[in-house]
Structure 1
Amino acid sequence: MQAVLYVSHGSRVKETRDEAMAFMEQVHQKVDVTLHETCFLELASPDIGEGIDSLVKQGATAIAVVPVLLLSAGHYYEDIPDEIKKSVLRYPDIRFTYGKPLGVQDRLVEILAERLQETTVERLPEAKILLVGRGGKSSEITRSVEEIAAKLAVKANVPNVEVCYLAAAAPSFDEGLQASINSGSNQIFVVPYLWFTGLLVKSMQKKINALSSDDQQVILCGYLGDHPSMVDALAERTQEALQSEQQLAW
């Protein structure tokens, strides 16, 4: 029996975990597979091994592992495959296939443009737009975020969109935000390229609240969340993983 295992990042914040679980339920409504589980990379349960165990106990003979990730980084190339490898050794008769992160997609850039509009704050001609990525050590991450920023600049009809990162890449969020403030612009829109809420979003909001003033507005836009295009994008990645002919084996 075919099954799907969605692998989300994980968080200590219950709201984030609940949000991820509810999102995956929406995705699953678009996927014609009876068995499915959501697990987490870290900071929450079940983990990948536990998710696979649960599916096997329910009768799974084939499992499509779908990373709930925006971009390809260490989690995609190392952490998730390492955990799958352990399960392959435990369940040599199970067929495992592996999906892809969402990657750079125009429809996701459309969501970012919508998030800018949803602030209901009239954007001044000189406004700065700061795109905030999660970050990672891979140059693939920074190239992707820069490509997204360039696409957003076209969509938002601005000369450029600056980028910064919350971890493991430069400039950091603090550096990017301070540079935007130092530019003297009266208005700064901070656009998080993050899937779900959590400590990162809360930390960003706290810093922005401390720096925003009557003379210089700093506005935090909404994260990607459960926008219908996000649901469609992950459902498509799930279908690709289900139809993959390449079986994972070590």
Structure 2
Amino acid sequence: MKAIILFGHGARDSRWREPFDRLATLWRAQHPDTPVELAFLEMMQPSLEEAVTFLAGGGVTQITVVPVFFGQGGHLRNDFPVLLEACKKQLPGVKLSATPAVGEDLAVLQAIVDFGARAL
């Protein structure tokens, strides 16, 4: 079984995660047969390890982590690979992969341009 983890930075203000919760809700509505979980680098729960462990406990064998970051900054270049590798070692029966940051995708950038154009 395949699943997806939407991975964000995290923040002290709990309201910061509201768009992530909406994103997960949209995923569930549009892809009900593919589980989705949120995970955060810091300051919020669950951690990446907790989300991977939860999905694996539910029978998931293949997880794609989608970093919901605007760009490939230091956290994604330095911290994230270490976390992902630790999860791979902890759960060798689960195939883990990751996409680039969502902000690196042309369709995402175009959606932001379209959003700005609608504001005019």
Question: TM-score scaled to structure 2, two decimals?
Answer: 0.84
Point out the more displaced range, 93-102 or 18-27: 18-27
1:106 to 104, 110, 113: 110
Taking the aligned partners of 2:24 and 2:13, their CA distance within structure 1 comes to 17
Tell me the equivalent position of 1:3: 3
The 3 A distance-change label for structure 1 pair 78 and 15 is same
**Gapped runs of 5+ residues in structure 1?**
118-250
Helix, strand or coil at the partner of 1:38 = strand
Taking the aligned partners of 2:23 and 2:8, their CA distance within structure 1 comes to 10
Tell me the equivalent position of 2:65: 65
How much does 1:106 deviate? 2.6
Tell me the equivalent position of 1:17: 17
How much does 1:17 deviate? 1.7
Taking the aligned partners of 2:33 and 2:81, their CA distance within structure 1 comes to 22
How much does 1:32 deviate? 5.6
Q: Is the 8 A contact 1:4 1:33 kept in 2?
A: no
Taking the aligned partners of 1:21 and 1:106, their CA distance within structure 2 comes to 22
**Gapped runs of 5+ residues in structure 2?**
none
How much does 1:56 deviate? 0.8
Which amino acid counterpart does residue 19 of structure 1 have in structure 2?
P
Which amino acid counterpart does residue 90 of structure 1 have in structure 2?
Q
Taking the aligned partners of 2:60 and 2:43, their CA distance within structure 1 comes to 26
Aligned-residue Cα RMSD (Å) equals: 1.8
Q: Is the 8 A contact 2:28 2:35 kept in 1?
A: no
Taking the aligned partners of 2:9 and 2:100, their CA distance within structure 1 comes to 14
Taking the aligned partners of 1:6 and 1:110, their CA distance within structure 2 comes to 23
Taking the aligned partners of 2:112 and 2:20, their CA distance within structure 1 comes to 17
Tell me the equivalent position of 1:206: none
Give 4+ residue runs of structure 1 displaced > 6 Å after superposition.
Answer: none
Helix, strand or coil at the partner of 2:30 = coil
Which amino acid counterpart does residue 111 of structure 2 have in structure 1?
R
Larger RCO, structure (CA 8 Å, separation 6 or more) = 2
How much does 1:23 deviate? 2.1
How much does 1:52 deviate? 0.7
Per-residue CA shift, 1:193-229, capped at 9, x if unaligned? xxxxxxxxxxxxxxxxxxxxxxxxxxxxxxxxxxxxx
Q: If each structure's helix is expressed as a fraction of its own residues, which one has the higher value?
A: 2
Which amino acid counterpart does residue 65 of structure 1 have in structure 2?
V
Tell me the equivalent position of 1:218: none
Tell me the equivalent position of 1:81: 81
Tell me the equivalent position of 2:96: 96
Tell me the equivalent position of 1:161: none
Taking the aligned partners of 1:19 and 1:68, their CA distance within structure 2 comes to 11
Kindly report which structure 2 residues correspond to 1:101-250, keeping only aligned pairs within 5 A, or say none: 101-102=101-102, 103=104, 104=106, 105-115=109-119, 117=120
Helix, strand or coil at the partner of 1:29 = helix
Q: Is the 8 A contact 2:40 2:47 kept in 1?
A: yes
